[in-house]
Amino acid sequence: MPALATKPNILLILADDLGFSDLGCFGGEVATPNLDALAKEGTRLSGFHTASACSPTRSMLFSGTDNHLAGLGQMAETISQNEVFQGKAGYEGMLNQRVAAISEILQDNGYGTYMSGKWHLGMTPDSLPHARGFDRVFGLLPGGGNHYGYEPYLDDGTPAVKVLPPIYVEDGNFVDHRTFAKPFYSTTTFTNRMLGYLEEHESTKPFFAYLPYTAPHWPLQAPPEIVAKYRGRYDDGPEALRQRRLAALKREGLVDENVTALPIVSTFEDKPWAELTDEEKAVSSRKMEVYAAMIEVMDAEIGRVVSWLKETGNYESTFIFFCSDNGAEGAMLEALPVLGEEFQKTIERFFDNSLDNIGRYNSFTSIGPAWAQAATAPNRMYKAWITEGGIRCPALLRYPNFRNGEISHEFCTIMDILPTILEMAGISHPAPEYRGRKVLQPRGRSWVKYLTNKAEYIHDDNAVHGWELFGQSAIRQGSWKAVWIPGKDAKWSLYNLASDAGETTDLADDEPERLTEMVRLWRDYEAETGVVRLDPDQAFALRGYGFYRGTEQ
């Protein structure tokens, strides 16, 4: 496709662990007027898919190819503690050199490139965002951090919260978070930095702005006055919320009116809502109130960026894309074997998780598996699961002359973003060689023809898509999806998502020939992408790294 009359500006916004039904425009009760307005003007994507966890998804976004090829075959945190993955191609634990990053390609083609937010694609000098194509960077390198910048230290001078160390970079330099201007709140600070970069941008060039927030990733923290707006909203529990959202999704036309959802499954040490004491219910619902407040704040900050685009005359020339990186997080932090007993001791020593303090700078909580399943309605389970609750995510886009005011139910993936942007900008992908090294072609497909009504679909029914993470595996062709989850007597299950988006009915026994073919396609995908094959015991052992127990099938 020839370049558009002028190359478009690009604004990519990522939420962190946002569920499918959390936004107002996706059936949720959380106040998200700015994203709702973009959705009304643009296109909502009900069939958008990612990986089931943070960094694998980001590697797919930046490379346009599978995470097992791009360097995050497993999360770096998993690779470092499991020898079976170490030294394997595609398991470098960072965005590897076999791919050309979208930021690098756009930088080479005259774009000003800016990032503010979470990176999670490497911490070595050659894997930092500044080294992978960004002109200006304010980046948090690990998978998350305290949203208020509160980082207690041990007696030896090291950060107390080992799982999320406060490692930040500005451009190509590491910086001490203790020097940041106060008040600090992650979502607002990331927005401020991005707006500063855009203000300094040379107006004769197009820009690529990448704004990956850490909200609503744990620890749950938000301004008390926003939390107060949701007081009492969740007092009837997660199953009631899941059903309300499912009804809203149906009314909006985001899911089929006949779709059913599995009841919420109790996982980890999470007790059913009906078995909780009044005090336990109050604590649980307060966590959800804070989670909702984090989403509302993120929406307000996105509104600031959209206002800047309008005030500066850039709105009509900017392709805006928003999505979550995976499903809502369902981990109970205190029950995760990968974090260990020392993590719980750290929480008890340095943080106050009493009811009235939940959500403040010195609290450290997560919503847990039941609320996460409400957040992913009508899908099954949540982040780290290869079921739809882990990989089917809210997404929307807005750009003039594309399909606008619509809901698209087309299957699509985050790998499609890179080829879409390149086609919009009239840029060819540099494969097979880039900057003196061999690089891979994208596996994703451009949406441009579909969004300009020149094609009826993005991926045809013969296209095959695979997922594998934390020992779980899935393969999809058309509306058929086969899933393998490690556990006692584990076996492949089969679902027809066209009639069963909630993955409620296993058709493996009814469709044996279809299942055999799907497993064959899985083996082909496994070979093509270099998935490290695990025996059942190895796969089951990864359940703690995936923030699930592996027994909730």
Question: Above 70 in pLDDT, residue 506?
Answer: yes
Per-residue pLDDT averaged across 139-152, rounded? 96
d(Cα 395, Cα 320) in Å, to the nearest integer?
11
Say whether domain 9-333+342-544 belongs to CATH 3.40.720.10: yes
How does residue 338 score in pLDDT terms, banded at 50, 70 and 90? low
Token look-up 């926003």 returns 226
**What is the rounded CA–CA span in Å between residue 215 and residue 449?**
33
Confidence band for 543, pLDDT divided at 50, 70 and 90:
confident
Looking at residue 546, its pLDDT comes to 56
Count of CB atoms situated within 10 Å of the CB of 235:
13
Closest CA to 150 of 346, 354, 372: 346
Give the bridge partners for 468, in sequence order: 473
Q: Is 54 a catalytic residue?
A: yes
Beta-bridge partners for 10 = 208, 319
Nearest residue to 492 via CA among 519, 520, 471, 470? 519
Q: Is the overall model pTM greater than 0.85, yes or no?
A: yes
pLDDT score at 551: 44
Domain boundaries, the chain: 9-333+342-544
Please tell me the number of Cα atoms within 13 Å of 329 on its side-chain side: 27
Name the residue with tokens 């080992």.
162
- What confidence category does residue 2 fall into, taking pLDDT thresholds of 50, 70 and 90? very low
> Considering only CA atoms, which of 451, 484, 471 is closest in space to residue 543?
471
177 in catalytic set:
no
Q: Which of 25, 49, 68, 120 is catalytic?
A: 120
Name the active-site residue from 54, 323, 393, 412: 54
- The tokens describing 298, both together, are 């993120």
Structural contact between residues 519 and 504, judged by C-beta atoms closer than 8 angstroms: no
- Residue 540's pLDDT is 81
Across the range 325-334, mean pLDDT stands at 87
Among 75-84, 97-106, 410-419, whose mean pLDDT is lowest? 75-84
Q: What is the pLDDT of residues 59-75, one digit of tens each?
A: 999 999 999 999 999 99
**C-alpha radius of gyration, the chain, whole number:** 22
Who's near 209: CB < 8 A, 6+ residues apart? 9, 10, 11, 12, 114, 115, 194, 197, 198, 305
Residues in the chain: 553
